[in-house]
Structure 1
Amino acid sequence: MTKLIIQIPCLNEAAGLPDTLAKLPRSIPGIDTIEYCVIDDGSTDDTSGVARRWGVHHIVRHRRNRGLAEAFRSGLERCLAEGADIIVNTDADGQYEGADIAKIVAPVVAGEADICIGDRSVARNQHFGPGKRLLQRLGSYVVRTLSATDITDAVSGFRAISREAAQRINITTEFSYTTDMLIQAGRKRLAITSVPVRTHAATRPSRLFKSIPRFIQQTGVTILRAYTTFNALRVFVGLGAVATLIGLVPIGRFLWFALNGDGDGHIQSLVLGGALLTVGVLVVTLGILADLIATNRKLLEAALLKLRKLEDKLDRGEGQAQKMPDDETGRPTSDVVPQRLAG
């Protein structure tokens, strides 16, 4: 029995959520059971109530807004706890075509990929302006290079994830999970692919960021942090080498004048060069420490993966997955009968 759970992070989506739910697939080749999970990230409208009335199987509710990355993480944890073999993440704003869920699930069902990204064909997507196309392509190129993957739409949130991959991914950013997840997956040698998907015009401004410069800044920080986490030694040794090489320039200048009997008037070059060499050594030392910390992280993640697999075995031994209560409310939501979605 292969179970697919489609998760939808939401923030004040009471008006548009019914249309999104209505377009979700009811059956997919290779999938025996399809369920839906709504993550209400501190909505001030009736998003959770709408999801409940529409028969959504699982509802996770944050009492206050925590951000898209945290909503995505909460969704993964709930889906895993509910026994999902494959998890699909989609948006509530209707940007993605619900019928294309079958397309992004297919490589995972076939065992060809751990993660499949819905490629929006950014370069020729008529719903994107020239500026957005350029930024998306540039960002995807950076992520593709740093993650050692061949994904052309790195920030697409439309993606299918196998249970194994979801258990191995640990989102650490507070902004957006998309780039962090890809860099992690690439560095952990997970099989990643993409398929072209259809998109629709945006019905409202993005709630993830307030301006393009803000988006670029936060995405850049997320990419840098994720890459440094898995390549700490390379990053810090590179920075230390740069500082050292720059420091050798004023030192060489001082030695040149000193050999020509004019070293007294250029002592400041020696001081500057010495300071830069010291900085270089300190940065390399920090890199070694950071690499040791990264090694410890790998051990912790390996232990966490074993713990998750052990929980899976215990759940299967009991005959059914444990039901988790609605986040922070203590009220179960998994027993909702999907009346509207059943049709």
Structure 2
Amino acid sequence: MTVTHLAIVMPAYNEAEGIRGFIDEIRDHVAPLAERVSFFIADDRSTDETAHVFDDTSDVEVQTQPANRGHGPTALAAYRLGLASDADLIVHVDGDGQFLGTDFVRVIRAIESTSADVVHGVRGGRTDPWYRQALTACVGLLIAAASGRRIPDVNTPLRAYRPAALRALVDAVPVDASVPHVHFSLAEARADFIVRYVSVTSIPRRGESQSGTMWGRAASLRLPPKRLRQFAITALRETWTLSLRPSAPLRSVRRPVPVD
């Protein structure tokens, strides 16, 4: 696979402190892999300067969302920006910069060198609070039981997609979904998408303030905050409604037939 146009898409909320350095690092590593690299940021109505950090940068497009809606809807908006760009490969990552530029190269090469529809970056060495890691593990067990196979790091935000595969998933998930990556992972498993997994390094969020993270910093919170507990309940209900119940709409997702 030759990458003519690579789109890097990311949701962001109050990431002005670290997002420019993160994108510079990604660009430095992936530029040799594609003829053209574009960055698309869906800004979730940040209260800092996130929306204006790239006013002087030609390869970064920032779309401010009509309302602050949270990570899931903003991630879906970022994916739609990538699909609208007609890129032939789309890589998603969160704007908090918890990955290394070198791992983007590994993820992209993994999808270039195989017939995979998607490559997931499986996080190692996570520095998130214990309760976030525990929530991810519990969701992983639930999805494994529903899909009949274990999916490593079911909610990872670092993913590379071929456009046809991504469009089938994005079109099936409501625009206000809270946990689109959970739905994606389950649909991929059920519909026999070709998925490859690459081990990547998880690093602390870039930036010193707490304003860019929904749940607080690891050092300051020992117990799950109320907002996270409420989110977990909402996410479980949504997963049941959209993906798990017998008549769930995402059960109808089918892998697109590759075009030779």
2:55 maps to 1:55: no
Tell me the alpha carbon deviations over residues 199-236 of structure 1, each in whole angstroms, 9 at most, x when there is no partner.
1124537327854422321231232123236x32xxxx
CA–CA distance in 1 between the matches of 2:112 and 2:95?
24
Aligned to 2:151: 151
Q: Greater Rg, structure 1 or structure 2? A: 1
CA–CA distance in 2 between the matches of 1:70 and 1:126?
24
For residues 321-340 of structure 1, what are the structure 2 equivalents within 5 Å?
none
Q: Which protein has greater RCO, CA pairs closer than 8 Å, 6+ apart?
A: 2
For residues 41-190 of structure 1, what are the structure 2 equivalents within 5 Å?
41-121=44-124, 125=125, 127-169=127-169, 170-172=172-174, 173-190=176-193
Contact 1:42–1:61 under 8 Å retained in 2: yes
Greater share of helix: 1
Contact 1:141–1:152 under 8 Å retained in 2: no
Structure 2 gap segments, 5+ residues each: 216-224
**How far is 1:165 from its partner?**
0.9
Change (3 A) 1:144 1:97: farther
Change (3 A) 1:107 1:9: same
CA–CA distance in 1 between the matches of 2:102 and 2:33?
15
For residues 198-237 of structure 1, what are the structure 2 equivalents within 5 Å?
198-202=201-205, 204=210, 206-207=213-214, 211-228=227-244, 231-232=246-247
Identity of aligned residues (%): 20
Aligned to 1:15: 17
Change (3 A) 1:220 1:77: same
CA–CA distance in 2 between the matches of 1:38 and 1:167?
18
Query: SS of the counterpart of 2:98?
Result: coil
CA–CA distance in 2 between the matches of 1:22 and 1:132?
28
For residues 167-316 of structure 1, what are the structure 2 equivalents within 5 Å?
167-169=167-169, 170-172=172-174, 173-202=176-205, 204=210, 206-207=213-214, 211-228=227-244, 231-232=246-247, 294=249, 298=252
Tell me the alpha carbon deviations over residues 252-306 of structure 1, each in whole angstroms, 9 at most, x when there is no partner.
xxxxxxxxxxxxxxxxxxxxxxxxxxxxxxxxxxxxxx7xxx59x95xx78xx89
Aligned length: 238
**How far is 1:151 from its partner?**
2.0
The one-letter code of the counterpart of 2:244 is: T
Query: SS of the counterpart of 2:40?
Result: strand
**How far is 1:23 from its partner?**
1.4
CA–CA distance in 2 between the matches of 1:104 and 1:48?
27
Q: TM-score, normalised by structure 2?
A: 0.79
Q: TM-score, normalised by structure 1?
A: 0.61
Query: SS of the counterpart of 2:96?
Result: coil
Query: SS of the counterpart of 1:120?
Result: strand
Change (3 A) 1:59 1:185: same
Structure 1 gap segments, 5+ residues each: 233-289, 310-343
